[in-house]
A and B are shown apart, each in its own frame.
Chain A
Amino acid sequence: MAHQTRSARKAGLFDLRWIIAVLFGIYGVVLIVLGVGFRTDEDLAKAGGININLWSGVGMAALAAVFGLWAAWRPMVVPERVEEMPPADDAAGAGER
């Protein structure tokens, strides 16, 4: 695990948890705004009376908050050097060699 390496630094934006937090933060806010400010009776009827934009938005914002807090609480660190480079993932990135 990353915590034990001496010469290490934070991964910052490359931490997947931040990427998830940012994406779902944006989605959550947009959906909440839509759900509160722009809901129409037609939309409500479509979803059988549930304000699905609002509730999905709340759920996504909560997900974003969990990942953001987790990433802030335990930042990921990248080891400076890795002894043995694991093999390239052949299923991906072959065109990039």
Chain B
Amino acid sequence: MTFAGVGTFMTKEISLEHVWVEFGEFTAVQKANLNIAGGEFFSFLGPSGCGKTTLLRCISGFQEPTRGLVKIGGKDMKGVGPNKRPTALIFQNLALFPLRSVADNISFPLEVRGVDKKTRRKRADELLELIALPGQGDKKVSELSGGQKQRVAIARALAVEPDILLLDEPLSALDLKLRQHMRTELRAIQKQVGLTFIYITHDQGEALTMSDRIAVMNKGKIEQIGDGKTIYDHPSTSFVASFVGENNVLEGTVLTNDGKMMQIDAGLGTLFHVESHPAGGPALAPGDACQLFVRPEALKIAKSDNSLNQFETRFVTEEFEGNMRHIVLDAQGKKLKLSLINDGTHSIGASAPVKLDFAPALGIALKPGELASA
């Protein structure tokens, strides 16, 4: 799919300044502050009800913030209706018009702008060409497959020639294979048209694979903003650590912290050494309670008897996922998950104790906070 010659898209940056949205007593968004650069692929990631859709509606103009400013291209958008904003929204259910043909769907934005029929049709055909559905303009929407509808929705949004494309979980209705294919395709479209994409999702896989930057949200608050690697490797709050990807969490106490290395007692009979991450979240002082996160793939079966961060566990059960084997272990009453690549060699005895360890760089100690519910 190529988008050369679709027209030139201006691209504008967006800034949210102290945006609050309240519905009566309920605060849907609190103090959202962020800048999205022109041409960026930016995702809001969070569980349902975290306020990400409300924030998107603030940008598209369907919702006025209770307090704070939404600026697009430096211009305050207060009082500017959704039909006057340079944004195009792709809805979760796509919201294609069932009574209109594919071409009439795509050219709807031109129709309401009073563009004549011939020009509209020409433009629709161009866009159909570009979403690899040439000559399908006279079909009914219901005759298209899920992926084709998806592409028609994108073409319709692009027909507006927006500065910013907003996508509200557009892939959630597709099956797994198509979803993964569309991830790649969406990212390719974004690169080619160079438009600012703002993407809403609860699926961390989508957010991590496509985005330049991600804002993780919980209960109306933006917990962390960063690129995928930062969010995954250096979460700044317990929520981010537990929501993005899988994580094992151990409750513990900080014994020492010299700014580079911390010692943590998690009650497993071993003093854990983990690197301090001054960039990620507030620093922990000796005596502080903490939550220690170690990802399932960071845990290793200990190769020697005296490695650092070594502790003893018992095998509980194994979940087989094809490429990965997820082994559930018990460490003094705490359930831990260990993920191993299925290379056909591992075998863990059901009875003997299993000794695990992890590299100090891969343990993340954070102030105790709310964990994402499974």
* A and B: interacting chains: no
Q: Give chain B's interface residues, CB within 8 Å of chain A.
A: none
